[in-house]
Amino acid sequence: MNKFLIVANTDKDINLKLSQDIVAYINEKGAKAVVVSDMQQHYNGTTIKPEYLEDVEAVIVLGGDGTMLRAAHSIGTYQVPLLGVNLGTLGFLTEVEESNAYKAIDRLLADDYSIEKRMMIEGRTGDTSFSCLNDVVITRAGFSRIIGLNIYVNEQLLDTYEADGVIVATPTGSTGYNLSAGGPIISPKSKAVVVTPISPHSLTSKSVVFDSADRIRIEVVKKRRTQETEAIVSFDGADNVELSAGESVEVTCSEREIQLIKMYDVSFYSVLREKIGGA
């Protein structure tokens, strides 16, 4: 590899110091790199102008898992692999720690790495559609105490949740909000989707894991006569859309995949033990 794009989180890379140092290092090695950040007009956290992605062989993301998610969205349909440098906390997606950033860059320049593909899901409501690496989340809006949600799988009613909301997560997203809500952890190489209720008002409402070929539709049920907007759906923690009673969100497996650059031959289970504790 010899042409890179660096996506920087300016809250974590103050004054873009690390970004500029990495650009200088790459240039010294005879390769090319440019930086985009949320302070620059050509990157607003949602899209990167196509001219910055042309001929790019890798995107180096400086930040945390949230920055990685935004970068995954921002590259659109460009099949460019991402390498995450962790400037945050847990960093399930950002494999490289800041102290090892330059060693990782040396390996990129020497083409010494592997690629791991991660599935994405497509969330649709009305004319709105987003590809998600982590999850689609529907939560209560306004002062609604709980919301009613009909869960359909391949147009067959599975269950009705009365809860604070519901999470539809990919294997990658299973270690995020899904895990906090009591959902299961799924190996990131799996082709599956997990649906987890958020604070369900029932002792029997549990997470369910589905095949990636299943179509999941979540319909909002009217709960309060005085409130028009019953719920809000977010796609990877952003792109919020209000939902009224009777409206639905459909989630299917996306045709897109995200390519993550892997530097270390460390299993997911070892990372899991390190990040969230264990023996």
DSSP 145-168: S-EEEEEEETTEEEEEEEESEEEE
Tell me the β-bridge partners of 241. Answer: 233
pLDDT band per the 50, 70, 90 thresholds, residue 225: low
Which amino acid does the sequence have at 7?
A: V
* pLDDT at position 279: 43
In CATH, the number for domain 3-113+263-276 is 3.40.50.10330
Rounded distance, CA 133 to CA 130, Å?
10
The pTM assigned to this predicted structure is: 0.88
Domain 120-256: which CATH class?
Answer: mainly beta
Domain-wise residue ranges, the chain = 3-113+263-276, 120-256
pLDDT of 277 above 70: no
Catalytic residue list: 65
Query: pLDDT by residue (tens digit) across 73-125?
Result: 888 788 899 999 999 776 788 889 999 999 999 999 999 999 999 999 999 99
Candidate from 193-197, 226-230, 247-251 with smallest mean pLDDT: 226-230
CB 33 within 8 A of CB 56: no
Q: Which residue has the tokens 């299973």?
A: 174
pLDDT of 199 above 60: yes
pLDDT of 200 above 80: yes
